[in-house]
Amino acid sequence: MTSPSAGSASQELIAAVREAVEGTPYVVEERPYGFDLTIDIADAQWYTLIRRNGLQRVFTHEVRLQEGSKRLSITDVSQSVRWDAGGGVSGPPSLHVEKSFQRGRVYQYSAQKELGVDAETGQLGTPVDYTFRSGEGRALVREAAKRAGWSEKMGGEQLGAVIVAGSVVVIGVLVGLFFLIRALLG
């Protein structure tokens, strides 16, 4: 694998992706393996009726580049953290934190709209108001790559998942055949 700074084809692709995401909430960050395309889906803090809440959702497409062959792989990384603090009307103060993480090929659609009071200004508003489709970022990278003459290959996480799924199917078929033969032969 070649560092993106080492080759002009990688730099051209990164520039093309930066141009494609201009004016969108996506950010391109160069990495030793290629680049990350990241979007902050939600980053908000607000007060509900009796609690202070926080939500952070970040989705990243890790794009690994192979300069010589002009091939790339895209790995999705979805992370979210949600927390709330406060007390109920008749209960003691509480703190709740929840974190989730997914990696590989993540197919995700989400939409959320919440009304609350801004933690800093005290103004009523919709601190969380978004619609997100995980395929949008992949499509931006794929379109720029296609125009620049790059092709996509399956990433390690996706290849591993295909191998595991194939193994499960083969084992299932073999077990089924075993029991079928056993039933037929008595």
pLDDT tens per residue, range 25-75:
889 999 999 999 998 665 555 555 445 566 677 889 999 999 889 999 999
Q: Is 22 a residue whose pLDDT tops 70?
A: yes
Task: Show the domain range for 160.
Answer: 154-186
Q: What is the DSSP code string of 89-112?
A: SSS-EEEEEEEEEEEES---EEEE
Residues 88 and 30 in one domain: yes
Nearest-angstrom CA–CA distance, 126 and 131: 13
Domain co-membership, 76 together with 111: yes
pLDDT computed for residue 65 by the predictor: 95
Question: Residue 10 pLDDT > 80, yes or no?
Answer: yes
In terms of domains, do 111 and 166 share one?
A: no
pLDDT digits (tens, 9 = 90+) for 125-183: 765 666 788 899 999 999 999 999 999 987 666 667 677 778 888 898 888 888 888 88
Q: Report if pTM > 0.85.
A: no
Residues 143 and 123 in one domain: yes
- Per-residue confidence (pLDDT) for residue 18, from 0 to 100: 95
**Residues 134 and 45 occupy one common structural domain:** yes
The domain total for the chain is 2
**In a shared domain, residues 115 and 34:** yes
The reply to whether 129 and 53 lie within a common domain is yes
- Residues 162, 90 within the same domain: no
Crossing angle of helices 135-147/8-21, nearest 10°? 130
Query: Is the Cβ–Cβ distance between 26 and 90 less than 8 Å?
Result: no
Residue 49's pLDDT is what? 47
SS3 71: strand
CATH code for position 89: 3.90.1150
Left if phi > 0, otherwise alpha if psi is -120 to 50, otherwise beta: which for 86? left
State how far the Cα of 100 lies from the Cα of 56, in Å rounded to an integer. 11
